[in-house]
Amino acid sequence: MNCNPWPRYVSRISKLALKVSVVGLGFGMNPSTILHTGKVSFVYTAVGVTAAMGLGLVMGRFLSVPFNSAFLISTGTAICGGSAIAAVTPVINAREHEATVSLSTVFILNSLALVLFPWIGTALGLTQTQFGLWAALAIHDMSSVVGAGLRYGHDPLLVATTVKLVRALWIVPLVISSALVLRVRAKTSWPGFILFFLAAAVLTAVVPGKASLWAVVSSAAKAGFSLTLFLIGAGITRKAVRQIGWRPLAMAVLLWIIVSVVTLGCIDRGWIAL
């Protein structure tokens, strides 16, 4: 776990591979379906992000987890894992150790989700759409969301990717609001690769004659996610895992379980649907 000689390069490559793979998936999706899914899921993601952030901070205080660590773990759980943690870290003036602890915790849970979610979905008989919604709203990182969707089928991949992208957009308002509350200057940028994802989907509809080419690109993008997951795994070290401590880990696990169970219950009852 600690034999990676180029951690910085691996981190950069994994982030780039993730963005390129997301754009590539756009070539295998219908733009009208994407727009409908995104519009409907906006409210779900808003409620989910707010509830997860609030609950996480309360749990952090109850478990005596330092505020910065609790805030980062809550952010990663509520929005999009490592990307959200990286965006918020400078805003709250978190130390490198606190960011490492949060990222390590999120990575461990992402790895578990990749294995457990498809198994649980199959055991409960979730439909393709139900599983896609659940994965997008309850798994931390985009890579694991897509990985779980790929293991469950094509339809959940489309739903999971689109809803997850909508959820990821909440990085921007969270960073801005955090900066305003803490009265610090924050630099944030809109996740521009999402626009390229939409452009790719539109291109497939405008130029249907290249369907075979779009299929190849989409398949290559799915393979790219396997590479991304490998690179993310290579970026974690044994030292970072040892530094987590039981309190932050307990908080992260409990928060994730609550979010997953509540989201699944709402989907099962039809309160969350497309």
The pTM of the whole model exceeds 0.85: no
**pLDDT beyond 70 at 240:** no
At residue 259, the pLDDT reads 95
Mention every residue, 6+ apart, whose C-beta is less than 8 A from residue 270: none
Residues 66-73: contacts with CB within 8 Å, 24+ apart? 66/98, 68/92, 68/93, 68/94, 68/95, 68/98, 69/94, 69/98, 69/101, 69/102, 69/248, 70/248, 70/251, 72/98, 72/99, 72/102, 73/102, 73/105, 73/106, 73/248, 73/251, 73/252, 73/255
Question: Which tens digit of pLDDT belongs to each residue from 146-203?
Answer: 888 888 877 777 788 888 888 877 877 887 777 777 655 555 555 566 677 778 878 8
In angstroms, how far apart are the furthest CA atoms of the chain? 59
Give the other-Cβ count within 10 Å of 96's Cβ.
8
Residue 140 burial by Cβ neighbours in a 10 Å radius (0-12, 13-18, 19+): buried
Name the residue among 77, 152, 160 with its Cα closest to residue 119: 152
Half-sphere exposure of 83 (CA within 13 A, CB side): 26
The closest of 175, 5, 6, 7 to 80, measured between CA atoms, is: 175
pLDDT recorded at residue 177: 79
**Phi/psi of residue 28, each to 5°?**
-110, 20
Instruction: Count CB atoms within 10 A of the CB of residue 112.
Output: 14
Q: What is the pLDDT of residues 61-102, one digit of tens each?
A: 999 998 888 999 999 899 877 777 877 887 787 777 787 788
Q: Give domain limits for the chain.
A: 7-268
> Is the model more confident about 80 or about 116?
116
